[in-house]
Structure 1
Amino acid sequence: MDPCATCRDLEPLPGFSGGFITGGTGQDLKDSGSTCQLCSILWEGLEVFCLNSPATVQWMALRQAEDSFRLQYKRSSAERAWMGLHFYTKYSQDRFSDVFKPTNDLEPDTACIKYLSQMKGWIKTCDEKHQVCKSRQNNYLPTRVLDVSRDPDRIFLYEPAKADKGPYTALSHCWGGVVPIITTENTLDKFKAGISIEAFPKTFRDAILVTRELECRYIWIDSLCIVQDSKDDWRHEASRMADVYGNSYVTISATASENSSGGLFRRHDPLDLKHTVQRPAENGVCATVHVRPALEHAPYFASSPYGLESSTPGPLLERSWCFQEYLLAPRVLSFTEWEILWLCLSKRSCNCGEYNEDMRDIVAASDLKARFDTQLRDSSPKDLRRLWQDVVEAYLLKGLTYDTDRLPALAGIAHLFSQRSLGRYVNGLWEPTLVADLFWGLDSSFAQNYDIVAKRTLHQAMPSWSWASVSGSFRYAPSTYVFEGIKIISISWEPMISNPLAQVSTKTITIRGVLVQALAWGGADYEKNPSNHYRRVQIHNEKDHSWLVDVTSELYCDPDNPADVYIFSGTKGPGLVLRNVKGSSSTYQRIGFIEGYPPKRDERGSETIQMI
C-alpha cells in the first residue's frame, strides 16, 4: 500500500534530513484524517492545543530513528518561532509505539514526589557511578554559608571555621530588582543569631527545601553570604565565584523565576499537560496516543534563551552572572517551567524522559558546558582559545543590571583560563593574541533572526577596542584570517589595580598598521530600523564598500552628508572602522568592523596610533 500523501506514514526520510518527514497545513491533516488514522491523530492533537484557527497553521513532522516524534507548527509564514507538540505512547507494546515512542507524562506540580525522587536518584547515581564527578567533590566551604540543619524554622548565617567541612549547595537566581532580605554590615550579627524561614522569599525557601532533601547542611545564596553594602567584601567574594560555584555539591538554578519571589516549582492545569487520543484497533481494543507540549532541552543545556518558545519563561538564561555560575558549577539542578533538568560532568537527565541515564551521553562537540568542563582540564592552547571565544560570544548575549559588571561577571571563568597559560588578561582579551583578539565583529544574521539590538556600555572607563564595551550578537574573527603588518607597540597598564580580571586594566593601546581616511554613510532610517548594522564606506578614487557598525546609533547619515572615519588594518585581513577623538591627531575609538577593504594596502605606509 502506498504511504499517505499527507503524513507519509510518518516514516523518516532516508539519509540526512534533520529528522524532517513532511509538512503542510492544518487543513491538510483534517481532510486526510478521514482516510488516514495517523493524520487524524495529528489533527486531533493540533486542534486541542492550537486554539486559534488550527486549520490555517503550517506544520512539519520531525522524527529521527532514536528520538521522539514531534509536530512543529506556527500560525503564519511571517512568524519565526515554531511551537511544538510531542506525541507519545506509554508502553512498548502499544500499537503506535514504533512511531510515537513511549515516554513519561508531565506532572501538574513540579514539586511532586515523583520529580523529587527522580532528582535524588540522579544525584545518588552520580555520587556512586560517575568517576569524573566524584573526583571533583571536596570539603571546601565559602567564607559564609547558611546553615539549614539546626532548626526547621530558623536559618543561621554562618562563617565556617577551618575544621568545618562541606558539602553545600549554591543558588543561582535572578535578583529581578530588590531582594527582600540581604546581609549588610548592620544585619550581619543579627543573621548569625538566626533568621525565621518565613522571612525568606519563595525562591530561597524552595532552595532550602531542596538542600534539605539532598541532606546538605549548608546553602550559599549571594544576597545573604556577601555583605552587600561593603565594597571590600563584595570585591573579595566576587573574585571567588570560581571557588564558590566550582566546589558546590550541587548548584540550584531558579531558571524559570524572574525574581526571588518566583520560586523553583510550578503548578499547571492538567488539561494543559496532556490530551489522550484513542482510536479503535482491529482487535476491538482502543489504541491510545498521548499529546503534550513539546519540551525544548537544548536551550537549557546551552544556557541560552534562544530556541525556547516565547510562552516558556527562562529569565535566568538571559543573565550574565548566572551564565558564569552555570559554567562554573560541576553539577546543576535546573528548575524550569515544566520539569527539573540535571546536568553533571557525565550525563544530562530530565523528568520527561527524553534525556536519561541509560540512553545518551553528553554531545561534547556542540555542548558548551561539556566542552568547558573537559577542555579546561586537558586541552591545547588552540582549543582553549577557541573555547574562550565561544564563551565570550555566548556571554555577550546576556544582560546586566550594571554595565560596570561586564568584566566582574566573567572574572571567575577568566581566572580558570588565566591558570592555563593564555597570558596576561587585557580587558577580556589576552596579550599574546591581542592583535587577532581586536578583530571581533557583529554576527549580523543571528542578530537579525532574533531582533537583537547591540548596545555600547555606559561604563566610561571601558575602551572601545574591547568586546566588553558592547553587548549583543558578536563573534571573533575566524581563525583562518591572516593578520600581517599590525604590531602592538605598547599597552598602557593602569596603576593600582587590585583585580585585573574584574577591573579595567588598561584604557589605551598603541598600535601600528595601515590607516586610511574614508567617508561613511548609511542607516538613515535608523529610527525605523535600529537593527540594520550595514553601512557603506568609500576612500578617495575607490569604489564604496559595505561594513558593519558595532552599534547602530553611533553612525547613521545619508550619502549626501557622510561622516569622516578611518580604516585601520594590516596589509592583509579585516579592518577596524575608527573615529578620530576630537582634539587629538592620533587617538581613535572603534565604531565597526570591515572585511576586504581598502584595496592596495600593501602599497600604503604604516602609522602608529592610540586606540581607546
Structure 2
Amino acid sequence: ERIATLPFLSELSSAASNACPFCHRLNVIFYNSYREKTWWQNSDLHLCFRIRYIWRGYRRSRQGEPTYSLECLDTIVRHPGCAKDTVDVFKFTIGAWPGRCRDWLNIRRYPLDTTGVVSERNITLMNKWIDDCAANHDRCKTRDRRSTVLPTRLLDIDTGTDVNHLRLVDNTEALSRNMLGGKLKYATLSYCWGSSVSLKTTSASLATHKERISVHAMPNVFQDAMFVVRKLGIRYLWIDALCIVQDNPADWEQESTKMSDIFYNSFITACAAASTGSDESFLQRPTKPSFTVPFRSILKPDISGEYSIFLDPRPIMRIEADLDFRSSRWNSRAWVWQEQTMATRSLIFGKYMVQMRCQACIQTEDGDHLWPEENLDSDLLDNQHWNYAVWDYSARDITFASDKLRAIAGVARFISKAKENAGRNTEYLAGIWLNDSFFDELCWAIEKPKASYKEMMAGFVDENNYCAPSWSWASRRDAVSKIAPSGYRKEVRLVCYRLSPAVSDPMVAVKPGSSITLRGKLKP
C-alpha cells in the first residue's frame, strides 16, 4: 500500500519527475477527481492506494470452457471522504500485440492502432469480421437470405477514377449494374443529424444529384461514411438526407415507412457514434495515452516481450465498447433505436474504438468478443422483450412528437409478421399489442415528466403534434416504465376499440379520436 500526502501528492510527484508515466497519470487522475473536495487542502491528510493486476475468466464462445486472461491493472484508493469499508477503484486496461508475451499471459486485448481509425490494420480487421459473419453466423445468414426490399435510390460511390464525386442512382440502375446477380449489396449510414444537415436532396437538386455530387460539398459524417464503405469494397451507400427527397412529403412518407427494411436488408450499417451532428467527423479520435511494460517470465525466462497499460481509466465493471455504445449522443436518438434494432451488421465508430455488432456477437478493435444482450429475431414473440424495447425507446429524444409511432413502426411491423407466421396474429393499437398482456401494457407510468399537465393536454388537441391517444405510452415524450402488478386477478375486459389511421398504415400514425372502451370494476 502506498501513501500520497495532500494536497500536492509529493510522493507521486517525485516519482513522476523521475519519468514514471503511471505515477504521473495517477497524480493527474487524483487531482482531477478530488480537488473540489473539502478535505483536499488539509495537509495533515493523505490518500492510501494499492495497485493489483486483475485476471478475469471469460469464454471464447457461449458454450466454451472458461479460461483466464490478464485483464487490467486496478488502483484501489481510500481517501478521507470514503465511508467505512468503501473505496474508489480506477481500472487501467492491459493489451499486447501478438507474440510470446501475449500468449503466455493470455492477454486478449490489443493496443489500439495509433495510425488512425481506418488504418490498413483496422480495415483488414473490419473485413475479417464482416466476412466471418456472412459465412458463419446462421442468424445473420438467414437475414441475408430473407432480404428483398431495396431503397428507391442509392448513392453510387464507385465512379471510376473520379474519387471526388459520386451520384444518386435509382435502384433499377443499380440492379442493372449488379453483374454478379443475386442480392444487391449496399451499406447504410446511421448518424445524428444535429441542428441541420448542410447537403440534402430536394426537388430542385434531385436531377443535379443524379448527375454528380461533390464529395467536398458533403458534411464530414457523409464523407467519412463514403470513405469507409469504399475501403470495404461496397459500391452503394444509403444516406437518408441524400436518398430521400426531403421537401417531397409523398416521397418522404414512402421511404420513411420502409426505412426499417432498408436497414434490415443492408449488408453493413456504418454508425457514427462518435459524432453529435453531421458536420463532426467520426474518424477522428484522440490518441489514448499508454506506456509499455517489459516482461520476462520467472518460470520460463526464455519467454519475454512487452505489454501496454492504457492510462485512461474506465469506470468499474464497464468496458470501452459499452461506453461507446451507451453514452453516445447517437444512442440517445429515437430514430437510431430502430436502425440499431433492424440492422443485420453494424460497424460502430465510437469515441474509444471501432466495434462490430451483429445478431450473433460483438467484436471490438481491441480484441474483445462479447454477446448481445437481446436479439430481435429470437425474442419476437416475447412480451417482456417488447416491454424492454418500449422502456429503451421511450427514453430517447425525438425532434417531432408526431414521429413517436412512426420511428418504431418498422420494428412493430416486423414483429407483427412474425406473430402472424407463428399463428398468433395480434392487433397493434398505437404501441400496445392486443394480446394476453394487453391490460398489463396499459399500466405504464412516466419516470421523469418533461411536460406540464397543461402542455400534455394541449398535445392531445393539436393535430400537428398529436401522436397517440392518452392511454398509449407513445402519447408522451418521456421515458416510461411498466407498473403492472403481479399476482392480481384482472377483472376488466375490452369492449371495443377504434383506431383512426392518419396515413394508410395505422402502425405509423393515428388521428385524434382513437379510443378503447373497457368494462370493469372501479375502486371507490
AA of the residue aligned to 2:427: R
Instruction: Return the offset for 1:301.
Output: 6.0
Specify whether residues 30 and 407 from structure 1 end up closer, same or farther in structure 2 by C-alpha distance, changes over 3 A only.
Answer: farther
Aligned residue for 2:378, secondary structure, equals: helix
Specify whether residues 301 and 391 from structure 1 end up closer, same or farther in structure 2 by C-alpha distance, changes over 3 A only.
Answer: farther
Where does residue 262 of structure 2 map in the other structure? Answer: 244
**2:368 equivalent to 1:354:** yes
Where does residue 222 of structure 1 map in the other structure? Answer: 240
TM-score (ref. length: structure 1): 0.65
Deviations 1:438-457 (A, max 9, x none): 102356xxxxxxxx665576
Instruction: Return the offset for 1:499.
Output: 1.9
- Which residue, 59, 82, 87 being the options, matches 2:94? 87
- Which residue, 406, 412, 415 being the options, matches 2:413? 415
- Which residue, 171, 174, 181 being the options, matches 1:160? 171
Instruction: Return the offset for 1:437.
Output: 1.1
- Which residue, 184, 191, 201 being the options, matches 1:173? 191
AA of the residue aligned to 1:127: A
Structure with more of its chain in helix, by fraction: 2
Where does residue 497 of structure 2 map in the other structure? Answer: 491
Equivalent positions of 1:444-523 (< 5 A) are 454-455=450-451, 458=459, 459-460=465-466, 462-477=468-483, 480-494=486-500, 497-504=503-510, 507-515=514-522
Where does residue 15 of structure 1 map in the other structure? Answer: none
Contact 1:239–1:502 (CA<8 Å) still a contact in 2?
yes
Where does residue 15 of structure 2 map in the other structure? Answer: none
Q: CA RMSD in A?
A: 4.0
Contact 1:96–1:287 (CA<8 Å) still a contact in 2?
no
5+ long unaligned stretches in structure 1: 1-5, 7-23, 33-39, 309-313, 444-451, 516-600, 605-612
Deviations 1:448-488 (A, max 9, x none): xxxx6655765345333211123444322458343422222
Where does residue 336 of structure 1 map in the other structure? Answer: 350
AA of the residue aligned to 2:290: K
AA of the residue aligned to 1:485: E
AA of the residue aligned to 1:64: R
Where does residue 145 of structure 1 map in the other structure? Answer: 154
Where does residue 200 of structure 1 map in the other structure? Answer: 218
Contact 2:291–2:309 (CA<8 Å) still a contact in 1?
yes
Instruction: Return the offset for 1:219.
Output: 0.4
**In structure 2, what is the Cα distance between the partners aligned to 1:403 and 1:80?**
44
Contact 1:105–1:352 (CA<8 Å) still a contact in 2?
yes
**In structure 2, what is the Cα distance between the partners aligned to 1:299 and 1:94?**
23
Specify whether residues 43 and 153 from structure 1 end up closer, same or farther in structure 2 by C-alpha distance, changes over 3 A only.
Answer: closer
Count of residue pairs brought into register by the alignment:
455
Contact 1:201–1:260 (CA<8 Å) still a contact in 2?
yes
Specify whether residues 285 and 134 from structure 1 end up closer, same or farther in structure 2 by C-alpha distance, changes over 3 A only.
Answer: closer
Aligned residue for 2:187, secondary structure, equals: strand
**In structure 1, what is the Cα distance between the partners aligned to 2:501 and 2:336?**
30
- Percent identity at matched positions? 26
Deviates more, 1:226-235 or 1:41-50: 41-50
Where does residue 398 of structure 1 map in the other structure? Answer: 396
Where does residue 189 of structure 1 map in the other structure? Answer: 207
**In structure 1, what is the Cα distance between the partners aligned to 2:207 and 2:355?**
37
Aligned residue for 1:374, secondary structure, equals: coil
Deviations 1:395-425 (A, max 9, x none): 1121111211111111111111121245221
Deviates more, 1:396-405 or 1:249-258: 396-405
Where does residue 437 of structure 1 map in the other structure? Answer: 441
**In structure 2, what is the Cα distance between the partners aligned to 1:80 and 1:413?**
44
Where does residue 291 of structure 1 map in the other structure? Answer: 309
- Which residue, 136, 145, 162 being the options, matches 1:129? 136
**In structure 2, what is the Cα distance between the partners aligned to 1:454 and 1:303?**
26
AA of the residue aligned to 2:432: L
**In structure 2, what is the Cα distance between the partners aligned to 1:200 and 1:81?**
46
Instruction: Return the offset for 1:504.
Output: 2.4
**In structure 2, what is the Cα distance between the partners aligned to 1:477 and 1:298?**
31
Contact 1:141–1:167 (CA<8 Å) still a contact in 2?
no
Where does residue 64 of structure 1 map in the other structure? Answer: 56
**In structure 2, what is the Cα distance between the partners aligned to 1:171 and 1:43?**
42
AA of the residue aligned to 2:244: I
Where does residue 52 of structure 1 map in the other structure? Answer: 32
**In structure 2, what is the Cα distance between the partners aligned to 1:121 and 1:236?**
35
Where does residue 522 of structure 1 map in the other structure? Answer: none
**In structure 2, what is the Cα distance between the partners aligned to 1:299 and 1:291?**
14
Contact 2:156–2:168 (CA<8 Å) still a contact in 1?
yes
Contact 1:141–1:168 (CA<8 Å) still a contact in 2?
no
Instruction: Return the offset for 1:338.
Output: 2.1
**In structure 1, what is the Cα distance between the partners aligned to 2:11 and 2:502?**
75
- Which residue, 101, 110, 124 being the options, matches 2:107? 101
**In structure 1, what is the Cα distance between the partners aligned to 2:303 and 2:433?**
68
AA of the residue aligned to 2:493: K
**In structure 1, what is the Cα distance between the partners aligned to 2:132 and 2:501?**
50
Deviates more, 1:406-415 or 1:63-72: 63-72
**In structure 2, what is the Cα distance between the partners aligned to 1:111 and 1:302?**
20
**In structure 1, what is the Cα distance between the partners aligned to 2:441 and 2:406?**
19
Where does residue 332 of structure 2 map in the other structure? Answer: 318
Contact 2:321–2:364 (CA<8 Å) still a contact in 1?
no
Instruction: Return the offset for 1:70.
Output: 4.7
**2:118 equivalent to 1:111:** yes
Specify whether residues 50 and 97 from structure 1 end up closer, same or farther in structure 2 by C-alpha distance, changes over 3 A only.
Answer: farther
**In structure 2, what is the Cα distance between the partners aligned to 1:407 and 1:488?**
22
Specify whether residues 159 and 436 from structure 1 end up closer, same or farther in structure 2 by C-alpha distance, changes over 3 A only.
Answer: same
Aligned residue for 1:192, secondary structure, equals: helix
Aligned residue for 1:399, secondary structure, equals: coil
Contact 2:324–2:350 (CA<8 Å) still a contact in 1?
no
Instruction: Return the offset for 1:49.
Output: 5.3
**In structure 2, what is the Cα distance between the partners aligned to 1:501 and 1:77?**
52
